[in-house]
Structures are given as C-alpha cells and as structure tokens.
Structure 1
Amino acid sequence: MFSYDAETRYTWFKGESLEPERQFELVGMIVGLALYNGVILGINFAPIVYKKLVGEQVGLEDVKIAFPGLGKGLEMLLDWKEEDGDVEDVFCRSFDIEYEVWGKVRTIPLVHGGSNIPVTNANRKEYVDLYINHYVNESVKRQFGAFRRGFHRVCGGPALKMCRAEELEMMICGTNELDFKDLEAGAKYDDGYDANHEVIKNFWSVAHSMSHEHKKELLMFVTASDRVPLKGLGNLVFVIQRNGPDTERLPTALTCFGRLLLPEYSTKEKLENRLITAIENAKGFGLV
C-alpha cells in the first residue's frame, strides 16, 4: 500500500497498489482516531500528505523535500540557462512520465499526444507543473482519495481547516525536539529511587550527554515512540524503577507503562555502557 524512501525515511502512497480503497480508507480512519484521541503515531508520511489533507497547494519546494532526486532534476530543468542551449537538446524529454509497474516500464502522457511533444525552453514550466501534478495527485488519486475520506470521516470539519499542514503533522506525529531537561523535570521514580539517588543523578548525566540519535533510541526503548507529545516531554509518562542491586544485566523496559527498569549500577561508566548497549540492541528480540 505504501512505499518507503531510505534516503528521506518518508512513506508515500503506492500508485500501482492493487489493494481495495477500503483498506486505504481504514488507514485514514485510524490516523484520524489517533489524532482525535491525542495518541502520537510513529508514522513518517511525506509532508505533502498533510498539505493535501488540509487542501494546501503542493509545489516544487515540497517535491524537493519529499523526493529529493526528482525535485533536484526538475529544478535543474527550470534553472537551465538559455545561453547554454535549449533544454530539448540537453535533457531530451517529452511531455510524458515513465513508471516501473510490476517490473515493466509504463509511459503515461501528461497531455494528449505528450510523447510526441518535446520539452523546450518555452514550455518547460508547464511540463514541470504537469509532472508534479501527476506525481503527487493523479498517480495516487484513488489511494489518497480513499485515505482522505477515512481521515475526514473522523476529523473533518471547520476545525481542520484552521490548521496549517505543519501543525496537523505535529498533532499527529509530535515533534523531534528532544528537551531532556523537560523529561527529567516530569520523571517519576519507584522502588527505592528518587531524584537525589546517586544512580538517578548518573542516569540523567548520561542521558543529557547523549547524541540526538541515542536520545531517540532511549525514548523508543522506554515508551515505544521517539516522538514528543504536543505538550512536551514533561507530559510523557517516564518512570525509572529500581531493578535490583549492581549487576551485569542490561536495563529493561515496560513500554506499555513507560517504565525503565534500571539496576543499581555501581558506577556512572557502567551505567552508561549497559544503557547504551540496551538501547542500541533492543529491536528484534527481548532483552531479559
């Protein structure tokens, strides 16, 4: 139903998907229900999706963000200087678009007889506009239309029209700004730990010095999401619970309850080593 771009890490609709429309409509309803109930989702749709949901116009700058290779190519076509030659001779393009569908290349004209109309200096702007419209609208019209219907069945109405695309994205996916001081201020402790315990002081010293990627991994490890709620990390359920005396065992977590089970490591260095090992290797199997 969806494609994933390893470069941008964005998810986009598969125009060649044969899944029935009700499947896309169901996904739209689930996203709408998450928004309605204030549940942050770990999805990474291309920003274009949110622009289309609120009815904003999509242009070349949006394509450059969502599909960098395509965007740069179209921009190069527009910026080509006439004194360096006609784009017809340099780019050798016509008014059509080619897709690989199920292992076969399919050519779709952007206008009637487009395969026989060359792209020139005079008509290149029209070509880019048609190309973008086809790529982000026409090619996924069935799939996105069903997704949008499902979303609007739950969250449609005047309130949605008040949002900008980036605001809608933030409400659905949270933000990437990781303020661990805010997280520390809202943290709770259990089974013998408190804010003044030496292990807790060591923990926050390690956490604050982590790279951005490790901070995301720590949040994912404890809460099952690396996204930040709208009200900030201070409103996130984050509990550090003592899990026995000093040991060689790794920290574990109860993600459903936002609890980090942290043994009483004897040194800061050992805590850092055990914690980093746990969060870097927590996918694919259970750590006990």
Structure 2
Amino acid sequence: MDDGTRINIILGCMGGSVFVLFCLIIACARHCRDRADDDLYGYNIDMIDGRDLLLRENLVDTVLEDGKTEWQCVVCMHMNHPDQATCALCGASADASLLNGSMLLSGGSLTTTVLRNNNNNNTTFLTNETAFLHSATGDIPLLRSSSSATNAAADSIELTTSVRQRALRYRRLNQMQLTQKQRGAARRRLWQRVSLPNGAFVWVRTTQPTLQKSDSFLSKLRNNTFLTKNPHANALRGTVAEQLRRKNAATMGFFTEMNDDGELAWRKTDSVAIQMDPARDTTATGAGVMVETGDKTVPQGAADVDFEGLMSMSFREKKKWFLKQVSSIHVPYMESVHKLMVRRDHILEDSVLALGGYLTPKQLREHLNITFIGEPALDAGGVLREWFGLVCKELFSAERGLFCTTHAENMSYWINPSLSRKRAAQGNDGDGDYLKYYTFAGRLFGKAMLEGLVFDANMALPLLKHFLSVPITFSDLEFLDEEVYKSAVWMRENDNVDSLCLTFSVQGDGDDIIELKPNGNDIDVTDENKMEYLALMLRYRMLGSVAEPLTAMLAGLYEIIPKSMLCVFDYQELDFFLSGLPMINVKDWQLNTRVLNFARDSDIPAIEREIQVVFWFWEVVESFTDEERARLLQFATGSARVPVEGFKALTSASGYVHQFCIQFVAPGVPPLGMCPRAHTCFNRIDLPVYETKEDLVTYLTLVIQMEITGFGFE
C-alpha cells in the first residue's frame, strides 16, 4: 500500500469520525431541547428529591385549618372544603347550603354530629346521620358478621334523620331554582340496594340518604324466609314482594342486567337483581382480591363484603376503598407493561386494534406504555396522558358518529342510536366490526380508572346509570332530550291524548318507523294505554335503540373493573371520579407545587430573582381565564383536568404521586430559548428566569396558544 492510499484511508476515517461526532452533538442538542419525557436531567432531579413514594389512595384528602369545618351541600349532601364556594359534585352554592344549615339548627331538631376530629380531618355533618363503619383494624372494607354485638354497634351509630329536618330540606330545595345537574344530583340516593339472604340485591326506593337497619320492611327483605330456603330463586314471593312493588310504584323504574348469555335485560325495580359479580366473571373477586386456582383466577368472597355498608359511606371513604381495590388488581409497573405503538394520524384505529380485541385478564390490567411511531419520547406518564386525550377526542367526535351529544341543559355524551340503527339495517353487508369500538370504549373507561386518567368530557346520566345498573326512571329522559321529556310529561298529566294521533311507534332516521310492540304502528295511543306507551318509549330510548353497542361497552368495562367495585359509587359520584374537578383551583395548584432553583444557594440575588418570577407566574395564572388555565395544565402535564383530590393527586406512569414542579433554567436565545418547556411525564415545567413580568406573560401565553402535540417540539 503506497503512502497516497494510506493517507486517503486515514483522512476518510477522520472524516467519518468527525461526521459521526457531529451527528451525536446534534442529537444530544435536540435531546436536551426537546419537550421530551426521557429527559435524564429531569429524571435525576426527581430521584434526588428524597421524598417517600406515595400512592394516590394513601393521600390525606382534606387538611383543614383549626376551627374550620367542611360544609354539606343542601342539594346533593356532598361534603365540601370550606374554601369551596360551590359544591364540587353538583355546583350548588355554599351560601344556599349554609343558610339551610342555619334553618335546621334554628329549628331545634338537629344535633350536629362531628364524625372525625383529628389533626388531619374535621368534618361536620348538617344531618344527624352517619354511614362510617370501620372494622377493628381501621381498614375500609366492611365484612358481614353474625355477631349480634357487631350488628348492635352498627345500629347504634346509624342515626336517623328527623321528619322535620327532611321537610325543611325539601322546602328549601323547592324554593331553589335547581339546574338540571343539581336535579340529577338531588336524586342520586333515591334508589338504594338492599342485600338478600341468597347474596343477591334488590332495589328499594327511599326518601332518605341512607337506609336504616332498623326498618322493619328492610329486615323482612334481608331475612326473607323463601330466599333463605331457596337461594337459587330469582324472585321474591308473597306479601313482601307486594310490599316492594307498592314501595317502588311511585316511580316508573327499570334497570339493566346482563344475563348469562351476555345480553342486557330490562327489568322492573320489584325484581331481584342478580349477584353483584356473576359467577361467569373470572377476572376478579367482588372484594377486589385476586384468588388463583391452577391456571385461572376465580372470584371468591364477594358474599362476605357488606356492600350496603360500603355504599352508605361518604364519597371520600368510597374513593379510598375503590383505589385500594383497583391497586390490588393492577399488575405492578415493574412486573410488566402493555406496550402500544400507534400512529398519530391513525390513533383511534391503531388503539382499537391493540386494545379492542382479545386480551388476557393480565394484559387488560397492565400499565399502558404508549409509543408514537416516529417520535423519540419514552413514556413515563406524559405520553400516556396525551394519547388518552387524543383518543377521547377522536372517540367522541361528531365525525366518527359513535357517540352523540344530548339535547339537554348540560351537554354530555350518549351512544349514537342512529349509528346502531344504520348498522342493524345493513346486516351482514355493513361493518360487522363497529362494535369493537364500543368494546374499546368500555375498556378505555376501565383503563382510565386503573391509570388515574381523567376524562375531559362527561357521560350522560342514563349511561352512568347503565354502568352501575341503577334504576332508570321516567325523569331521566330529561338528560337525553328535554323536548321529548316535556312532551312525555304533558301526555302523562293530561287527558285526550288521542288528539295527538300517536301510535305505539317512534320516528327513526328519515322515513323509518320503529314499532314499540308488535303491530305498534297500527295501535293508537289513548288515555287508557298511554302509561304502557310511555313505559315502552322509555325502554326504547334508554335501551332498545342502543342495546348492542351498550352491551359491548359494558362488557369491555367489566373485563377490567368488576361491577362490584364500581357499584360502591352512585352515578353522580362516578361522574365526578371519571371527570375530575370541573374548575382549576389556583390556590390548590400553588400549594401543591415544588420549585427547583437554578441559582446556587450562595447566590442570594439570583435566588431573589427566581422568587420574584414565581410570584409573577402565579399572578399570571390567576389572571388567566378558565380555558387558559386548562391549556397551561394540558401543556405541562398532558391533561386539562385534575383528579377529584386536586393537584396533590397528580401521578406519574408508575402510579405514584408526582406533584407539579417548576424548574428554573437559564434563558436561551429568543424566541424559542425564552419559551417555557414542558416535561409532562414529570408534571414539570422549565421556566426561564425572566427579566420582566411582561416577558413571562408573552412567552407563557405563546406556548399555551400553540397547538403543541408530540414530543419533538424545539
């Protein structure tokens, strides 16, 4: 080899090395600038923080200052923090509730009961009742006991509400102009489950927030002789059945249950419900405890759980119990994860393909790990939250047509009956796989509860009732279509309905006519048969028109979260849990934020500048509109809403609490170098040390107005 050739080889190697080094420098520069959640610097900051790892269910929900007590909403009976001006559950004002409390106190019929009073919690109830039943160990789950002493102790702490107190409350409610949401919330405890000796449940209509164990009729149900001798019977008999029918007859009520064939059945409220977790559910126990036998997991011990006691607890205690049960069935993050690789421009199709088909029970309950194809970010929580938001946006979009918005005072989402009718009419020529989108939707609800994700949308009240198998009544039509409801009310309360020229049928799409009963189009609606017509119309609107997609959706949901876990909530509480806090509380945000300084501890002037920027930041956030705050939260965490516990409950992908964090950084070259950067996996925002408040406003407003998605933003 001559010298010229040797020199060429050496120069070529040197050139190649320089090129590789240049590429590495560019890659590192992009890596450091990216809005990427695999930012090692951010990870190290979190690791050296030194805080104990905390799960969401172990959080202390409410810390009250000395002398302060929670207030109870007069509309829905929910307990609220004293700093809240409106009820978190229904939106009723604190002033109205406190006024009602004064009325009750002045009436002389109320003894205020303080249920808990310690350093962390001080809760005062305006009703002299309690539903807190704890085991001797202090755990939340309640177990039935044959001990008469235990039953006596439970009865002794279950106080009744006086007739005068109820009358004053109802009078106050009648004086208030309730919103539609508040009307629904006020009725959330109208129907309550009563356990039967064969392990099944029956619905009982009641005017009280909690059932009384001393009620003689309830005792007859709980100790029914026929069901004790015939545990496999599916209906009550004799005088107790007639009593139940009369008690529930004040409301036209029906509930849905999934039968052994996996089909939804429409049942009257004087029926006996099936067991909380049917034997065919082999994914978890009613108590949320996994019991393995051989190669499968079987339910065990559901009958030992006191569901009545659980359902009578406060929302705070229900949520704590639910989170513990969910944690018990969630596959640990370090054991395995379920990886999804999706294309951003086909996010719903790819997600349905990955999550809508056959998956083992273990796969369904693994943590999700999302990868956007062609993007560099590693998912430590932020990518998951962005994926969830984008998938929900597609799933509920009008263009997809899977769900539709209700024609009601508060917009919410309901299964699109037009799509269901269209697919049914197409038969085998249609898209037979459209139901997999609803199976996916049900599983998405289950995954959201497992992963601690919050929906930026609300489901229609009847859909929430279907989730829980809560009785659906005539008044629930209001939450789907106000005009249809008003027409139905007029028909129910007036005579001469034959002048309306109605038949036992409803108008479908276009010229389609749907008969509510055989030959219904030829049967006129009269004063004599109008109640039958209204009952059939209610059934069609609530179930018949959406039966197939609803069945697929419920099946997908229960595959992940057993019904016995869900049913601890009422429908209003479930909506609250799924959708989080409706408004962003800046004070709560500020109190649950960590600040990491860029300046050295010895550089006092630099630290003072950073402190000033922190003050500016919160002043700017306070001045933002609700929409702007939501966009900032979306930018920094990947979600526009916070969980029901508030900012203290923000988590990472592992399920551990990970508070919002402001990390100061040195300003870069304008304009991009002056923009805040987000690390959504760590709920962290990198904030340059601005010279003026105007600069902070300019660049913070800039990033929240940009439609930034993905993790390659520079």
TM-score computed with the length of structure 2 as normaliser: 0.35
Residues 236-272 of structure 1, C-alpha deviation per residue, up to 9 Å, x if partnerless? 2322233432844443423232222333333334423
Residues 169-213 of structure 1, C-alpha deviation per residue, up to 9 Å, x if partnerless? 233332313222111111122352889611111111121232222
1: CA distance, partners of 2:614 / 2:589: 13
Whichever residue aligns with residue 255 of structure 1, its letter is T
Q: Which runs of 5+ in 1 are unaligned?
A: none
Q: CA deviation at 1:86?
A: 4.3
Secondary structure in 2 matching 1:206 = helix
Identity %: 25
Whichever residue aligns with residue 559 of structure 2, its letter is R
On the 8 A contact 2:477/2:485 being kept in 1, the answer is no
Which residue is 2:184 aligned to?
none
Gap change, CA 1:49 and 1:191, over 3 Å in 2: same
Which residue is 2:568 aligned to?
162
Which residue is 1:150 aligned to?
556
Q: CA deviation at 1:81?
A: 9.9
Which residue is 1:48 aligned to?
462
Q: Choose between structure 1 and 2 for higher RCO, CA contacts under 8 A separated by at least 6 residues.
A: 1
Which residue is 1:188 aligned to?
594
On the 8 A contact 2:577/2:644 being kept in 1, the answer is yes
On the 8 A contact 2:598/2:665 being kept in 1, the answer is no
Which residue is 1:136 aligned to?
542
Whichever residue aligns with residue 127 of structure 1, its letter is Y
> 2:433 matched to 1:11?
no
Q: CA deviation at 1:54?
A: 0.7
> 2:663 matched to 1:241?
yes
Secondary structure in 2 matching 1:201 = helix
CA RMSD of aligned residues (A): 3.2
Which residue is 1:173 aligned to?
579
On the 8 A contact 2:475/2:485 being kept in 1, the answer is no
Gap change, CA 1:147 and 1:81, over 3 Å in 2: closer
Q: CA deviation at 1:283?
A: 5.1
On the 8 A contact 1:183/1:233 being kept in 2, the answer is yes
> 2:642 matched to 1:217?
no
2: CA distance, partners of 1:9 / 1:256: 31
Q: How many residues align?
A: 280
Gap change, CA 1:4 and 1:214, over 3 Å in 2: farther
1: CA distance, partners of 2:530 / 2:630: 43
Which residue is 2:473 aligned to?
59
Gap change, CA 1:143 and 1:158, over 3 Å in 2: same
Which residue is 1:198 aligned to?
612
> 2:473 matched to 1:73?
no
2: CA distance, partners of 1:158 / 1:111: 34
Gap change, CA 1:50 and 1:77, over 3 Å in 2: closer
Which residue is 2:175 aligned to?
none
Residues 100-153 of structure 1, C-alpha deviation per residue, up to 9 Å, x if partnerless? 2xxx54211112222233445555444333223212211111111121122112
On the 8 A contact 1:96/1:107 being kept in 2, the answer is yes
On the 8 A contact 1:87/1:119 being kept in 2, the answer is yes
Whichever residue aligns with residue 93 of structure 1, its letter is L
Which deviates more from structure 2 when the two are superposed, residues 156-165 or residues 199-208? Answer: 156-165
Secondary structure in 2 matching 1:184 = helix
> 2:644 matched to 1:230?
yes
Secondary structure in 1 matching 2:565 = helix
**Partner of residue 116 from structure 1, selected from 497, 522, 532:** 522
> 2:497 matched to 1:97?
no
Which deviates more from structure 2 when the two are superposed, residues 124-133 or residues 179-188? Answer: 124-133
Which residue is 2:452 aligned to?
38
Whichever residue aligns with residue 415 of structure 2, its letter is F
1: CA distance, partners of 2:456 / 2:492: 43
On the 8 A contact 2:405/2:411 being kept in 1, the answer is yes
2: CA distance, partners of 1:21 / 1:37: 24
2: CA distance, partners of 1:191 / 1:279: 23
On the 8 A contact 2:503/2:525 being kept in 1, the answer is yes
Relative to total residues, which structure has the larger helix share, 1 or 2? Answer: 1
Gap change, CA 1:130 and 1:215, over 3 Å in 2: farther
On the 8 A contact 2:594/2:662 being kept in 1, the answer is yes
Gap change, CA 1:29 and 1:284, over 3 Å in 2: closer
1: CA distance, partners of 2:621 / 2:501: 54
1: CA distance, partners of 2:617 / 2:474: 45
Which deviates more from structure 2 when the two are superposed, residues 25-34 or residues 189-198? Answer: 189-198
On the 8 A contact 2:582/2:641 being kept in 1, the answer is yes
Gap change, CA 1:153 and 1:198, over 3 Å in 2: same
On the 8 A contact 2:663/2:686 being kept in 1, the answer is yes
Whichever residue aligns with residue 63 of structure 1, its letter is L
Secondary structure in 2 matching 1:272 = helix
1: CA distance, partners of 2:511 / 2:466: 28
Which residue is 2:682 aligned to?
257
Gap change, CA 1:77 and 1:209, over 3 Å in 2: same
Secondary structure in 1 matching 2:465 = helix
1: CA distance, partners of 2:530 / 2:631: 45
Gap change, CA 1:254 and 1:129, over 3 Å in 2: farther
Q: CA deviation at 1:157?
A: 4.6
Gap change, CA 1:21 and 1:183, over 3 Å in 2: same
1: CA distance, partners of 2:544 / 2:552: 13
2: CA distance, partners of 1:109 / 1:267: 69
1: CA distance, partners of 2:643 / 2:493: 50
Gap change, CA 1:224 and 1:37, over 3 Å in 2: closer
On the 8 A contact 1:60/1:71 being kept in 2, the answer is no
Whichever residue aligns with residue 198 of structure 1, its letter is Q
Which residue is 1:280 aligned to?
705
Structure (1 or 2) with the larger CA radius of gyration: 2
Residues 266-287 of structure 1, C-alpha deviation per residue, up to 9 Å, x if partnerless? 3334423432343233256876
Secondary structure in 2 matching 1:94 = coil
Which residue is 1:266 aligned to?
691
Gap change, CA 1:143 and 1:251, over 3 Å in 2: same
Q: CA deviation at 1:47?
A: 2.8
Q: Which runs of 5+ in 2 are unaligned?
A: 1-400, 424-430, 600-606, 651-658
